[in-house]
Amino acid sequence: MAKILNAPLTKNPYVLKWVEEQIALTTPDYVMWIDGSAEQLDQLRNEVCALPEGHNDKMYRLNQDKLPGCIYHRTLPNDVARVEGRTFICTPEKDGAGPTNNWMDPAEMHAKLNKLFTGAMKGRTMYVIPYSMGPIGSPLAKVGVELTDSIYVVLNMEIMTRMGKRAFENLGDENPDFVKGLHSKALVDPEERYIVQFPQENAIYSINSAYGGNVLLGKKCFALRIASYQGKNEGWMAEHMLILGVKRPGDDEVKYVTAAFPSACGKTNLAMLIPPKYYREQGYETFTVGDDIAWMKPGKDGRLYAINPENGFFGVAPGTNENSNFNALASTRKNTIFTNVAMNEEDNTVWWEGLTKEPPVFAREWKGAKVNGKAFVADGNKLAHPNSRFTAPAINCPCISPEFDNPQGVPVSAMIFGGRRESTTPLVYQSFDWVHGTYVGSAVSSETTAAATGEVGVLRHDPMAMKPFIGYNVGDYWAHWIEMGKILGDKAPKIFNVNWFRKDEEGHFMWPGFGDNMRVVDWILKRVSGEADAVETAIGYLPKPEDINLSGIEDEVSQETLAKLLSVDKDLWKKEVAQMRDYYAELTAGGAHIPQELYDVLDKIESKLG
């Protein structure tokens, strides 16, 4: 019989009954309800940092003068990333999950999970974590309860969500509408590792992992896979999008854009954008509302409003430095958890590739071995794992928006899609309308290279940057986008596509990127407010070259280069249309219900291309 260490934090019978059932299944020795208090969290930090060397749960306090409140953890080498191949959407019919998800019959999966979870917490403590995705009291927020046997999960969830007894304020004592999450490290066995979503049951199960996105169930599992399904049913949107605010000189209010990019396409950099010197001198300001996920719902005025359901940043460490992303690095300076980075033993701080030019000499690489860092790196080894992470409170970010905790969210003026395209796609273009914009989102992709595939220009599709995160049939997801456009009508955000990665004939990037992407965002906002003209092409509205402000980068981007960046090659776009038809056909063969409206867009583009 499990010993209950403190009183339950709610009288909600649905929560209490579910927790009791999972205690009976997993048979922990102890049960602790996480109230979110500083005293309780300090107790857990002390406990996990006092564990002996070599213990799988062990965490380390870092230099508290240089990194106050920061701690370090390393996972097992077989447990260092999200595992898409072990991630399932379980719906009564396979058709409900669609071709972009792994599917299993719910009864079959429950039988498998029940066997794995039976007694999985014996000898351990079950932590009951109530949490809110979104600001407490927000009509856009949702409540989850995660049960876990990992202090690492508790401490990360404290950063990434609004965690503790206050989360139950959003739920109340009679409401059954909460997302159930059960996680156990169990044996951390990769052969029996499962991350499973049951959308109809509002439930998530994760077993045999102790890493990040597999176990912080509020993140991708809830905030995208479950929430996207909830949004379809309830008339809102859960998207893999950053939220950026821009205050332009002369504007009365901050304007907000959301943006969705596949990995390695500059999403975090745009979320924490620092405008170039020229723009700062003009009085432009930028504000981060979110770096990863946006929940968006029509407001009373008919506009679309967005919140960031998260409360922190779960960022990739390698490559992050003062030059590449000053604000992201600044966010990690206190009360941050570092996972699988290297330890600098000279001063008990952290290091990763790209942080500084020279690695530390006295170091522990990410698996824990003491090494001469310089010699280790010189031999071709990585001190930090390429997917090593920091979990940092959003409040640490120097450019965090004053509206970050606004329960009503922020009004969205524009949505931006983008991918990594060496050719074909211009620097920026605007969709003709919302349905065309939905098509543009469905076509998000990055090009492979000859070295990787043997053929240049093969598209790796990642629609809306949501391919691994859509909690139901991808075709129905696109149909929901089209339906949201009808609801929003003329108040719908304008939709744009950007491409920072176009190359010239010698293979050099033509656009400087990073802070200079402000120049493109500026044109986008001018289009939204009717201040800038555009050129109509077969694929959408493009800027007139003179409307992209090149002040300060004239030596880097000539007018000739800009003209190339804004060019539309009809032959390449005919191939693009053909590839999209093939992609839709592939999805349809897998059971996707592609809306006819998207085929109509393809027909129109093809007709305009001649």
Catalytic center residues: 265
Give the chain's largest Cα–Cα span: 75
Radius of gyration, alpha carbons of the chain: 24
- In the chain, the amino acid numbered 345 is E
The secondary structure of 237-301, three-state, reads EEECCEEEEEECCCCCCCEEEEEECCCCCCHHHHHCCCCCHHHHHHCCEEEEEECCCEEEEECCC
Region for residue 340 given its phi and psi (left: phi exceeds 0; alpha: psi -120 to 50; beta: otherwise): left
CA of 243: how far to CAs of 23, 256, 356, in Å? 39, 7, 29
Backbone φ, ψ for residue 313 (5° rounding): -115, 130
The residue assigned the tokens 């053909």 is: 578
Contact present, 320 and 354 (Cβ < 8 Å): yes
Compute how many other C-beta atoms are within 10 angstroms of the C-beta atom of residue 608.
14
Instruction: With beta carbons less than 8 A apart as the criterion, state whether 311 and 160 touch.
Output: yes
Q: Which residues contact 40 (CB under 8 A, 6 or more apart)?
A: 34
Cα–Cα distance for residue pair 88/80, rounded to 1 Å? 19
Q: Classify 158 as helix, strand or coil.
A: helix
**DSSP SS3 for 219:** helix
What's the half-sphere exposure (Cβ side, CA atoms, 13 Å) at 421?
23
Q: Do 312 and 158 form a contact (C-beta atoms < 8 A)?
A: no
